[in-house]
Structure 1
């Protein structure tokens, strides 16, 4: 059980226990009492010590996917303006894929220690045992909102509304249209989840997220308490789609369809950053707000193009683009090696901009100190005046850098890519010390050493010239592995039968499958190569039946309903029998002709349970190894 901190009436400071008690007695103002402060006075109070916080994070946008980082093609003027007014961390790192980065950001702990090392397979649920950023801010009096992509758990107690966010608008899964999302969402005129309830929206997904963010900001202007807004876009994650007006200028340059759509998504984000900042100015909160912009991992474009998207552009088109832009095309990945999912620099070094005009920060500048996602939580708590001295984190506050220009002490950090069911120390990793990188890129490969000072593209392995450094950095990795996994890596289990979520909707994305290829994460909606024909829809027979690892909240009678596709699909099950296996014991029911679902009524005891569900033509469980999986399962505790 997670014990919550005392909530102190706003305004607040870091208080002793005695002071907290006095404050609780003193804070007697009724919630419906007229507030004596007008809007401008409230903003002044917030500005002084307890700032609003807006954290914008884009998805799969790498360091090179910005106009100011050696990419003369993509248009990002609004983000470039923000960067020019911000402190810019040039040596900032995250995990190579999305869920681990989000878990580390929220918890202030390395993703392995936070318990999230994959994006599927039931390994992307952030345990409720951690004290995470929205909870800590909320307990200190902040209003909290999360908009866009969560990807840290679809069910209680892992949803954003279970983890400290009071207002939530989100899609399901890691990308719009993935299995946990509403059926057939394709980023245009979709149905999303507003505080857990389905709601239809008009327009492009990114525009919807920013519309909601602006509405939230306008409502918060009249609130006394400060707010924390976590705005996490799905763009430019695949499938690459954007409004046509954002795509067409890139097609006109001669780019292929994938590149035009990818850059179109980024330009759409840029336009919306401009809208958001204008709304902040209109509401007169820009100076009193900490504004952070970052991305969650390296470029998916670089990953799909083997590390350098420039290779996708034909020589004649390249010359034409250079003539039109007046700039030489040398790199579209800022000279970095590889992209998303890689432990080379292109997979995990990302831009990180932070701005707070009223925060007594030094003038905007580049900061070259080694920093990472795990530093965000302690930094924001520090800036907000919230005591985090006894908080268990792996990060460090960046405030001395921001306010005094004092460099961080030398530190060693590690990133790893653990896209497997169980963590493995031989999976790819990189050890970072300043500009030194010790990279183990392949499971069965060795280690290479690079000095980014002279070799930013990580081309020349200099491990033989520096054997002692290699030994020392390898030893550091072993210590890091023990630190992050020494207490175990338990499976996080959604809770069924809870009053907080009943019924529960489970999808195949959370199966504990033997490998990533056996997880139905991408349905295949849409008309491009990242859509129709790419995913599991139409390939259902290729997936083996794998278990959901769950926890039953209470003893009782439960209805467990199995579907081949989700409810809105109305898909007929083309088999004769349905099978439900509970902790190894199976029950079988015939499937009525034309049925789209089968319901089992069962008695469950509280505690952990593993459930497998499938369809076939066998009247017993002998067909488990070749059965047609139930990709969706709804579990409801009956009165």
Structure 2
């Protein structure tokens, strides 16, 4: 596509797209047209004077998992240096779980508005008509890349390559089952990782920066650690294996020390990788031309030191939603600056746009605010704001000083981070005002949730579409390999009456090859596996046994992990003639030859017209 003529370049594309994709195309290209009218065309702008941007996001690392925040159990000198050399957002809020935080960072909008309502089975998908921070910088002439965990949609147009990122290496799921050379994806193609995932993602981010050092780049590095499984290399874990832990969680009896030790080791690995990234930026003489942002996606994934705050991951109390956030831009932002005002992941998109000098008009109202006046210290007064935390039907409200929790209790966080004393009776007017705001906001968010409950999985937007087990529904005796859907596969298929289905929306009428990723024990070879949608069906015999062992987990530091990973083989089931529109894809079996059928990782539909 000619970036200087985005409208003309996509008229033919739009004409071929079904309704969902026409909505997606019109909204995005209409915004781009507006950008051309209100500012210099991105392809003609003086991009050379703008800064590069590197955003580092960690997964399940808490506010307290840094030495700069008083945790003496570990050392994080490289992350700490971002606080020393940049600005610290002291009261920075994210969401209580992964995908919602990513959606708010990517769009500057509360996550229910974006289509996201959960973390798996399609609830994690960011609506394709949302305008992302990747698209913002891409349209301003930047090379854009993401290396790590996306967690906002798998099938195009939800895929990161369709949401503003030229380069993607990692996985789209909510979590991954193995951290040493696991199966990953590179721009839609399945690949095998190289070494420990956090190291591998950093290697690819560094390669991206080197490749684009002569132009401007936006590099998004969302690590998937210290999320479980608690796998980490010996050279980071040995230090913690028998270490005494102090400080600990405020309720020590609730703390699982094996989990804490593993998490701390994984956080030191993150810090080592942040150090490698910062060293590369410095070695390329890009430090004064590059903004570096560091934050986390939610509270810690276990009860461990977190500054005495109440709550952990999954909670909308302070400990579940407060994150560190550091922004460094050497020569432009005063080192050691501390901002005490309430801020949030919602604010990063407008803030980075302002810092980069990108003139833009959001195509949809955003909830975030640019923090540049605070960072530049050009605005002494800053209006107090209320930021809401949402989980399901629960809403909590936060001001600079107070939190109204989901039960309507008010806490003065300046005096009581533990949220132990309800002060609502001392501040009746404030309590009434916040309760009213919570009621109004909650009603609006529930309407947004309801508007996104009926979304089948998209097929045919690009040549290949993968439908993982995570998004499927098993029937009969079939069950998932693990209790969490995200990185599971289907097992225990023992009867030909059992089946699996995926609700799909076919974007383009045509012939599609159906491919199943399977394993099959030798005793079950000869079973016939079929795929059907509407009036079309096709099937093939399983003629090759493939029954590999589960990946070994010698570096798993917490016992009884429920994550299981193995390799799968592909089998073409033949072709299906699919008609544009909504239908159901059904995977079925017949002619069983043994006591079982197959295990299923995913089904792939490839358009062959």
TM-score (norm 2): 0.79
Once the two structures are TM-superposed, the CA of residue 558 in structure 1 deviates from its matched residue by: 2.8
Equivalent residue in structure 2 for 1:634, among 577, 600, 604: 604
How far apart are 1:250 and its partner, in Å?
0.7
Mapped pair 1:209 → 2:201: yes
Deviations 1:43-96 (CA, angstroms, capped at 9, x unpaired): xx84xx411000001110010111122321022121112211121111111111
> CA shift at 1:561, angstroms?
3.8
1:553-589 per-residue CA deviation (whole Å, 9 max, x = no partner) reads 2222333344555xxx889868966565646x79696
After superposition, what is the alpha-carbon deviation per residue over 1:384-436, rounded to whole angstroms, capped at 9, x for unaligned?
A: 11123444211110011001253531111111123xxxxxxxx3321112221
Matched, 1:261 2:235: no
* Aligned residue in 2 for 1:120: 120
Match of 1:227 in 2: 217
Shift of 1:511: 3.5
SS in 2 for 1:137: helix
- The answer for the alignment partner of 2:169 in structure 1 is 169
Deviates more, 1:594-603 or 1:344-353: 594-603
Residue 463 of structure 2, aligned match among 497, 501, 509 = 501
- CA gap 1:16/1:511 in 2 versus in 1, 3 angstroms: closer
Deviation (angstroms), 1:196: 2.2
In structure 1, which of residues 376, 382, 398 is the aligned counterpart of residue 348 of structure 2?
376
Q: Determine the structure 1 residue equivalent to 2:234.
A: 244
SS at match of 1:234: strand
Asked if 2 retains the 8 angstrom alpha-carbon contact of 1:522 and 1:536, the reply is: no
Q: Secondary structure at the match of 1:633?
A: strand
CA deviations 1:186-242 (Å, max 9, x no partner) are 21133422222233343211111111111222222233xx11000111111111111
**2-side partners of 1:50 and 1:513: how far apart?**
50
What SS class does the counterpart of residue 96 from structure 2 fall into? coil
Runs of 5+ unmatched residues, structure 2: 1-21, 246-256, 547-570
Distance 2:491 2:599 in 1: 13
The aligned residue for residue 386 of structure 2 is 412
Q: Aligned-pair RMSD on alpha carbons? A: 3.6
Larger displacement relative to structure 2 (193-202 or 120-129) = 193-202
Which moved further from structure 2: 214-223 or 61-70?
Answer: 214-223
- Deviations 1:448-494 (Å, cap 9, x if unpaired)? 22111121011223334444433321221232234445462254444
Gaps of 5+ in 1: 9-13, 28-41, 178-185, 303-308, 310-331, 419-426, 441-445, 526-530, 619-626
* Contact 1:370–1:434, Cα closer than 8 Å, also in 2: yes
Alignment of 1:547-626 (within 5 A): 547-563=501-517, 578=529, 580=531, 582=533, 599=573, 601-615=575-589
Partner of 1:67: 67
1:265 offset after TM fit, Å?
0.8
Q: State the Cα distance separating 1:100 from its structure 2 match.
A: 0.9
Length-normalised TM-score, structure 1: 0.76
Contact 2:105–2:348 (CA<8 Å) still a contact in 1? Answer: yes
Aligned partners of 1:571, 1:76: CA distance in 2, in Å?
Answer: 50
Task: Please say if 1:198 is aligned against 2:190.
Answer: yes
Task: Considering fraction of residues, name the structure with more strand.
Answer: 2
Distance 1:496 1:408 in 2: 47
Cα shift readout 1:142-201 (whole Å, capped 9, x = no counterpart): 111111111111221111111111122113412232xxxxxxxx2113342222223334
Indicate the residue corresponding to 1:356 in structure 2.
329
Write the deviation string for residues 229-261 of structure 1: whole angstroms up to 9, x where unpaired.
001111111111111010001114156443322
Q: In the TM superposition, what is the alpha-carbon distance from 1:98 to its structure 2 partner?
A: 0.6
2:318 aligned to which of 323, 345, 348:
345
- Per-residue deviation, 1:138: 0.7
Contact map agreement 2:470 2:485 (CA 8 A) in 1: no
Contact 2:479 2:491 in 1 (8 A): no
- Structure 2 CA distance for aligned equivalents of residues 603 and 6 of structure 1: 33
Q: Which residue of 1 aligns with 2:9?
A: none
Report if aligned partners of 1:5, 1:139 keep a CA contact under 8 Å in 2: no
The residue number in structure 2 matching 1:435 is 401
What is the aligned partner in structure 2 of residue 273 from structure 1? Answer: 274
Flag the 1:595–1:384 CA change in 2: closer, same or farther, 3 A: same
| Distance (whole Å) between structure 1 residues aligned to residue 485 and residue 500 of structure 2 | 21
Change (3 A) 1:521 1:83: farther
Tell me if the contact between 2:404 and 2:410 (Cα under 8 Å) persists in the aligned partners: yes
